[in-house]
Amino acid sequence: MGFDLASLNPITGIVGKVLDRVLPDKEKQLEAQNEMAKMIVSGEFAQIASQLEVNKAEAMSGKIFVAGWRPFIGWICGVAIAMNFIIAPFAEFGSRLHGTPVEFPRIDLGPLWALLATMLGVGVMRTVEKVQGVQDNH
- Burial label for 81, CB within 10 Å (0-12, 13-18, 19+), is middle
pLDDT > 90? residue 12: no
Are 19 and 29 contacting, i.e. CB atoms less than 8 angstroms apart? yes
In the chain, where are the structural domains located?
1-61, 68-138
Distances (CA, A) of 53 to 1, 47, 57: 32, 10, 6
- Comparing 124 with 83, the larger pLDDT belongs to 83
Helix or strand run (H / E) with residue 62: none
Answer yes or no: pTM beyond 0.75: no
Mean pLDDT of the chain: 75
Are 33 and 3 contacting, i.e. CB atoms less than 8 angstroms apart? yes
Are 20 and 29 contacting, i.e. CB atoms less than 8 angstroms apart? yes
Confidence tier at 91 by pLDDT (50, 70, 90): very high
